[in-house]
A and B are shown apart, each in its own frame.
Chain A
Amino acid sequence: MAKKNIKIPLLRKASKSFLWASMLLMVLSTIALFFYVRWLLEKEVEEELFSAEARIESALLAGQHPSSLAPIIEINEVDELKTAFTKDTVIFDPSQDEMELFRELSTYKSINSKSYKISVRVLVVETNQILWAIILSYMVIILLVFVFQFYLNKSNNKKIWNPFFHNLEQMKKFSLLSKEPLQLLDSEILEFSELNKEISQLTGKVRDDYENLKQYTEDVSHELQTPLAIIQAKIENIINGQSLTEIQFNQLASIQKDIQRLTQLNKRLALLTKLENHQFTHRASIDITDLIAQIISNFNEISTISLTFEKASNIMANMDPYLAEILCNNIISNAIKHSSHGKPINIESKNMVLSVYNYGATSIANPQQLFTRFYRENKEFKSTGLGLAIVKKICDLYGYDITYAYINGHHCFSIDFGSTTSTRKLSS
């Protein structure tokens, strides 16, 4: 159901239900009032008719003959007596010069041995007018009351909920990276105050846990280095000591290689932690295109894969020189590692965007996971699985957009150095 997903702000929801309730109340009370007043007025008219008729009757009894006053009073002698009745009738009213609705009471009386038909009438228009006047003034008054109530309620609600909204905004701005505590507004309302307490505790705990985790990563990578150094040193002494068999030597060399992997992993984890801690605050103007050319010449010494560089325009970036080097190095070495069959790698710089293309038979299965640490698309590569995670972290730090696309059988990574959000985060 689509309805489920539509979210209404709290205050609007409260106002809305108030509006509906008051509208219903208004309609129902107006209807009730209408019928009640009409009934009262009809009763009043009837009483009036009967009392006029009684007065005429007593005048006739006293031998007076009140003159007919059509259409209000009509006295006619009739041959036979009928039962009295009341009815609504439309007759011509000469005073108004038009047809009008009257309420009429006709009685038949035998007075002084004569039979009379006495008809008294009252103009209904008048009572109708009274009825509508009452209903209208009622509606106006109740509407005014409701409007007043509505605004009073609204401003009251706003005042009561204000700490809640303020705290909600604070929580939206909550970041694990910032060390500042949440500035929560206290409220005289018990539940809000309890909520604040819980939020403060929860965020405090989350922060502590995060800090601990970071500290742990830092400590582990730090503590690992000394044992690694000892293992490495001992292996070198074994190699240079007593004579070994070729198999023993190869195994020792292979251990050296694994130590190197572990060292790399360690270094990169430490770098990621430092990036998360925002420990890189130095900034300088870096010519990325120069840097790329330099890195390419380095890689040409190690790799037979051909690297071509199309420099349509220079890219200048304002960032930490050390990070700039790691960023460019990682993105190119990633392409070298994953370039199948030694196919060439193309690097382009155009409009502040650096793009690296390498051949790939199929597109990447889980592009959204590419920048996750330890994600390896292909397990056969002995990579640390951190290279791209570092690239992403560096880009995030400076607000550069990094995108992956699979175009014409090539994996393409693009970094937009123009999309920087200037000094965000770094200033904190």
Chain B
Amino acid sequence: MKLLIAEDEISLQQSIVTYLERDGNVCECASNYEEAIYKVSLYDYDVIILDVNLVTGSGLEVLKHLKKEKKKTGVIIISANNSLSDKLEGLDLGADDYITKPFHLAELNSRIKAVLRRGKFGGDENILFNEIRVDTGAKSAYVLDKPLTLTRKEYDLLLFFITNKNRILSKEIIAEHLWGDNSDLADNFDFIYVHINNLRKKLTSEGAKYIKTAYGSGYKFTEE
């Protein structure tokens, strides 16, 4: 996968690159508006991570430029502004998703994968992991083509795990992915434990033992 990270905060830009490259993605960077426009005009990317406030110009202008050139590129907007109107403006201009700072890299990663899956980029609605197949169109999962009965949260959890496979996910990140702003209510994270345990049991009973515990309280989806 070829990605462009257009972000003027170098620290953040490099952290995103580090995280995404581990999956074997090719990441290029743009640190200002001109560089972003330049790279977008010259090369084709699968997904562009676009900061709205690029130091020398607006990320939304880059987006307009992309749409004018009719490039088939997925765009995820990053903004420090949590306002609905910004979000709507970005999506109206043709962005595929919108994420507000601060965000978890795992969350960004799963959004990128979701954008790639969507049909218009020729993506496949099915995600495969060994014998597991997740059909994101039908929101269902199979082990060796045998359907798994999952609750909505368990399905979300499985998808999140698979898109962030081989990564260590803390309960904080999982809670925020599943419940967003309300995750602070799940004070002791017992609820996550319950959901993860149920999912793990369902997978294990089909022979898919991929959910591992890491460092005592974190989780990792891996075949190692």
Listed in ascending order, the chain A residues whose CB lies under 8 Å from chain B are 222-223, 225-226, 228-234, 236-237, 239-240, 244-246, 249-250, 252-253, 256-257, 259-261, 263-264, 267, 270, 274, 279, 298-299, 301-304, 322, 329, 333, 336-337, 382-383
Please judge, given known A-B contacts A225-B102, A229-B103, whether A264 and B184 are in contact too, CB under 8 Å. yes
Please give the distance in Å from B97's CB to the nearest CB on chain A.
16
> Complex formed: what's the CA distance from A336 to B183 in Å?
13
Listed in ascending order, the chain B residues whose CB lies under 8 Å from chain A are 9, 11-12, 15-16, 18-19, 22, 80-84, 100-106, 153, 167-168, 170-173, 176, 179, 181-187, 190-191, 214-218
**Among B12, B82, B168, B172, contact of A230 (Cβ-Cβ < 8 Å):** B12
Please give the distance in Å from B46's CB to the nearest CB on chain A.
21
> Complex formed: what's the CA distance from A233 to B167 in Å?
13
Contact: B171 with A301, CB < 8 Å? no
Smallest Cβ-Cβ distance to A274: which chain B residue: B83
**Among B102, B106, B172, contact of A228 (Cβ-Cβ < 8 Å):** B102
User: What residues of chain B lie closer than 8 Å to A329, measured between beta carbons?
Assistant: 181-182
Can you identify 23 A-B contacts, CB atoms within 8 angstroms? A225-B100, A229-B12, A229-B101, A229-B102, A230-B11, A232-B102, A233-B102, A234-B15, A236-B105, A236-B173, A240-B19, A253-B170, A253-B171, A260-B172, A260-B184, A261-B184, A299-B185, A301-B153, A301-B179, A302-B186, A303-B186, A304-B191, A333-B182
User: What residues of chain A lie closer than 8 Å to B100, measured between beta carbons?
Assistant: 225
Contact: B182 with A236, CB < 8 Å? no
Contact: A240 with B22, CB < 8 Å? yes
Please give the distance in Å from A45's CB to the nearest CB on chain B.
101
Contact: A234 with B218, CB < 8 Å? no
Contact: A256 with B102, CB < 8 Å? no
> Complex formed: what's the CA distance from A250 to B9 in Å?
28
> Complex formed: what's the CA distance from A240 to B218 in Å?
11
> Complex formed: what's the CA distance from A236 to B84 in Å?
27
Additional A-B contact list (16), CB under 8 Å, known A256-B173, A302-B191: A223-B80, A228-B101, A230-B9, A233-B102, A236-B105, A237-B15, A246-B215, A250-B216, A253-B170, A253-B218, A260-B172, A260-B183, A264-B181, A267-B82, A329-B181, A329-B182
**Among A228, A263, A303, contact of B185 (Cβ-Cβ < 8 Å):** A303
**Among B15, B80, B181, B190, contact of A225 (Cβ-Cβ < 8 Å):** B80
User: What residues of chain B lie closer than 8 Å to A302, measured between beta carbons?
Assistant: 179, 182-183, 185-186, 191
Contact: B80 with A222, CB < 8 Å? yes
Please give the distance in Å from B199's CB to the nearest CB on chain A.
14
Smallest Cβ-Cβ distance to A231: which chain B residue: B102
User: What residues of chain A lie closer than 8 Å to B214, measured between beta carbons?
Assistant: 249
Contact: A249 with B218, CB < 8 Å? yes
Please give the distance in Å from A93's CB to the nearest CB on chain B.
107
User: What residues of chain B lie closer than 8 Å to A263, measured between beta carbons?
Assistant: 102
> Complex formed: what's the CA distance from A225 to B11 in Å?
14
User: What residues of chain B lie closer than 8 Å to A304, measured between beta carbons?
Assistant: 190-191
Contact: B181 with A230, CB < 8 Å? no
Contact: A222 with B81, CB < 8 Å? yes
Contact: B185 with A237, CB < 8 Å? no
> Complex formed: what's the CA distance from A306 to B105 in Å?
34
User: Which of A226, A237, A329 has the most CB atoms of chain B within a 10 A radius of its CB?
Assistant: A226
**Among B83, B182, B216, B217, contact of A299 (Cβ-Cβ < 8 Å):** B182
**Among B22, B153, B184, B216, contact of A249 (Cβ-Cβ < 8 Å):** B216
> Complex formed: what's the CA distance from A246 to B215 in Å?
5
Contact: B170 with A225, CB < 8 Å? no
Contact: B9 with A226, CB < 8 Å? yes
Contact: A333 with B102, CB < 8 Å? no
Please judge, given known A-B contacts A230-B9, A257-B172, whether A237 and B183 are in contact too, CB under 8 Å. no
Contact: B182 with A233, CB < 8 Å? no
**Among B11, B82, B167, B216, contact of A270 (Cβ-Cβ < 8 Å):** B82
Contact: B168 with A240, CB < 8 Å? yes
> Complex formed: what's the CA distance from A223 to B181 in Å?
20
> Complex formed: what's the CA distance from A114 to B198 in Å?
154
